[in-house]
Amino acid sequence: MYLNELARKPDELKGVGPKTSKALAKAGVHSVADLLQYYPRSYEDRQTSVSLSEAEDGKRVNTIITVLGQEYFGWGPKKTLKVWVKDDTGSATLVCYGRNFLADKLRNGTTHRLTGLFQYKFSELQSSSFEFEEVIPGGEMSRNFGRILPIYSLNAELTQGVLRKALDSAMTGFAQYLEEELPLEVIKNNGLLPLSEAIKNIHFPENPEKMRLAAETLKYRELFYLQLMVGRRAWERRSQTRDRANLTGVWVEKLLKNLPFSLTKDQEMVLQEILGDMSGGTSMARLVQGDVGSGKTLIAFLAVLYCRERGQQAAFMAPTEILARQHGENAAKLLEPLGIRLGFLTGNLKDKNRKYLLEALKNGEIDLLIGTHALFTKDVHFPDLGLIIVDEQHRFGVNQRLALKKKGKSPDFLLMTATPIPRTLAMTAFGDLDVSLIKTMPPGRIPIETHLCRDDREEKVFEWVRREIDAGHQIYFVFPLIEESEKLNLRNAEEGFRLLQEKIFPGIPMTLIHSRIPEEEKRSRMGLFTSGEAKILAATSVVEVGVDVPNATCMVIHNAERFGLSALHQLRGRVGRGKSASYCFLIFGETLSEDGKARLKVMKESTDGFRIAEEDLKIRGPGDLTGKLQSGFLQLKIADITLDTKLLTQAREDAFHLVQQDPGLLSPDNKGLREVLERCPPYPSIFLESG
Q: How far is the CB of 266 from ligand ADP (least distance, A)?
A: 9
Binder of ligand ADP out of 63, 294, 474, 553 (CB under 6 A): 294
By a kind-dependent CB cut-off of 5 to 8 A, residue 373 interacts, out of ligand ADP, Mg ion, none, with: none
Residue whose C-alpha is closest to residue 652's, from 280, 22, 222, 14: 222
295 binds ligand ADP (CB under 6 A): yes
CA distance 540 to 557: 9
619 binds ligand ADP (CB under 6 A): no
626 binds Mg ion (CB under 5 A): no
By a kind-dependent CB cut-off of 5 to 8 A, residue 553 interacts, out of ligand ADP, Mg ion, none, with: none
298 binds ligand ADP (CB under 6 A): yes
229 contacts 683 by C-beta, under 8 angstroms = yes
Q: Who's near 359: CB < 8 A, 6+ residues apart?
A: none
Binder of ligand ADP out of 95, 263, 619, 680 (CB under 6 A): 263
Q: How far is the CB of 416 from Mg ion (least distance, A)?
A: 7
Binder of ligand ADP out of 35, 52, 166, 292 (CB under 6 A): 292
Region of 592 on the Ramachandran plot (φ > 0 left; ψ -120 to 50 alpha; else beta): beta
* CB count in 10 Å sphere of residue 160: 14
Query: Based on CB atoms, which residue is closest to Mg ion, 199 or 335?
Result: 335
158 binds ligand ADP (CB under 6 A): no
Q: Which stretch binds ligand ADP (CB under 6 A): 166-174, 294-302, 362-370, 466-474?
A: 294-302
By a kind-dependent CB cut-off of 5 to 8 A, residue 568 interacts, out of Mg ion, ligand ADP, none, with: none
296 binds ligand ADP (CB under 6 A): yes
* CB count in 10 Å sphere of residue 304: 30
552 binds ligand ADP (CB under 6 A): no
Crossing angle of helices 609-620 and 565-572, in 10° steps, is 160
By a kind-dependent CB cut-off of 5 to 8 A, residue 442 interacts, out of ligand ADP, Mg ion, none, with: ligand ADP
CA distance 438 to 435: 10
Q: How far is the CB of 332 from ligand ADP (least distance, A)?
A: 14
User: CA torsion angle for 589, 593, 596, 602 (degrees, to 10)?
Assistant: 110
Catalogue the E-assigned strands of 248-366.
Answer: 285-290, 313-317, 342-345
By a kind-dependent CB cut-off of 5 to 8 A, residue 450 interacts, out of ligand ADP, Mg ion, none, with: none
72 binds ligand ADP (CB under 6 A): no
Q: How far is the CB of 275 from Mg ion (least distance, A)?
A: 21
319 binds ligand ADP (CB under 6 A): no
CA distance 474 to 574: 11
Query: Based on CB atoms, which residue is closest to Mg ion, 632 or 691?
Result: 691
CA 679 to chain centre: 25
Q: How far is the CB of 341 from ligand ADP (least distance, A)?
A: 21
Q: Residue 137 burial by CB count (10 A; 0-12/13-18/19+): exposed, middle or buried?
A: exposed
Query: Based on CB atoms, which residue is closest to ligand ADP, 442 or 596?
Result: 442
229 contacts 677 by C-beta, under 8 angstroms = yes
Residue type, 135: V
Residue whose C-alpha is closest to residue 574's, from 598, 542, 600: 542
CA 539 to chain centre: 27
Residue of minimal CB distance from Mg ion? 297
Residue type, 413: F
Three-class SS string for 86-121? ECCCCEEEEEECCCHHHHHCCCCCCEEEEEEEEEEE
578 binds ligand ADP (CB under 6 A): no
Crossing angle of helices 296-309 and 250-258, in 10° steps, is 140
Q: How far is the CB of 288 from ligand ADP (least distance, A)?
A: 9
Task: With residue 324 as reference, give the H or E element that holds it.
Answer: helix 321-334
210 binds ligand ADP (CB under 6 A): no
Residue type, 32: V
70 binds ligand ADP (CB under 6 A): no
297 binds Mg ion (CB under 5 A): yes
267 binds ligand ADP (CB under 6 A): yes
Distances (CA, A) of 173 to 1, 33, 162, 322, 494: 12, 12, 17, 62, 65
Query: Based on CB atoms, which residue is closest to Mg ion, 297 or 346?
Result: 297
Per-residue mark of binding to ligand ADP, 359-398 (x: CB under 6 A): ----------------------------------------
Task: With residue 496 as reference, give the H or E element that holds it.
Answer: helix 493-499
Q: How far is the CB of 570 from ligand ADP (least distance, A)?
A: 10
Residue type, 45: D
List binders of Mg ion among 232-271 (CB under 5 A): none
169 binds ligand ADP (CB under 6 A): no
Report the side by side order of strands in the sheet with 552-557: 449-454, 583-588, 552-557, 474-478, 536-539, 510-513
CA distance 150 to 40: 6
213 contacts 200 by C-beta, under 8 angstroms = no
Q: Who's near 430: CB < 8 A, 6+ residues apart?
A: 287, 421, 687, 688, 690
By a kind-dependent CB cut-off of 5 to 8 A, residue 492 interacts, out of ligand ADP, Mg ion, none, with: none
Q: How far is the CB of 259 from ligand ADP (least distance, A)?
A: 8
Q: Which stretch binds ligand ADP (CB under 6 A): 25-33, 167-175, 259-267, 341-349?
A: 259-267
By a kind-dependent CB cut-off of 5 to 8 A, residue 639 interacts, out of Mg ion, ligand ADP, none, with: none
Q: Are strands 536-539 and 510-513 parallel, antiparallel or unpaired?
A: parallel
By a kind-dependent CB cut-off of 5 to 8 A, residue 290 interacts, out of Mg ion, ligand ADP, none, with: ligand ADP
Q: How far is the CB of 546 from ligand ADP (least distance, A)?
A: 7
586 contacts 453 by C-beta, under 8 angstroms = yes
Q: How far is the CB of 501 from ligand ADP (least distance, A)?
A: 30
List binders of ligand ADP among 405-424 (CB under 6 A): 418
List binders of Mg ion among 7-46 (CB under 5 A): none
Binder of ligand ADP out of 261, 515, 579, 664 (CB under 6 A): 261
Q: Which stretch binds ligand ADP (CB under 6 A): 56-64, 197-205, 289-297, 350-358?
A: 289-297
Distances (CA, A) of 240 to 122, 284, 430, 617: 77, 11, 19, 35
446 binds ligand ADP (CB under 6 A): no
Binder of ligand ADP out of 442, 632, 684, 691 (CB under 6 A): 442
Question: Count residues contacting ligand ADP (CB under 6 A)?
Answer: 14
Query: Based on CB atoms, which residue is closest to ligand ADP, 291 or 494?
Result: 291
Question: Count residues contacting Mg ion (CB under 5 A)?
Answer: 1
610 binds ligand ADP (CB under 6 A): no
473 contacts 554 by C-beta, under 8 angstroms = yes
Query: Based on CB atoms, which residue is closest to Mg ion, 126 or 297?
Result: 297
Helix (H, G, I), strand (E, B) or coil at 165: helix
CA 512 to chain centre: 32
CA distance 410 to 285: 11
Q: Which stretch binds ligand ADP (CB under 6 A): 31-39, 148-156, 261-269, 491-499?
A: 261-269
Helix residue ranges per DSSP H, 335-391: 351-362
Query: Based on CB atoms, which residue is closest to Mg ion, 181 or 391?
Result: 391
In the complex, the residues that contact ligand ADP under the rule CB under 6 A are 261, 263-264, 267, 290, 292-298, 418, 442
In the complex, the residues that contact Mg ion under the rule CB under 5 A are 297
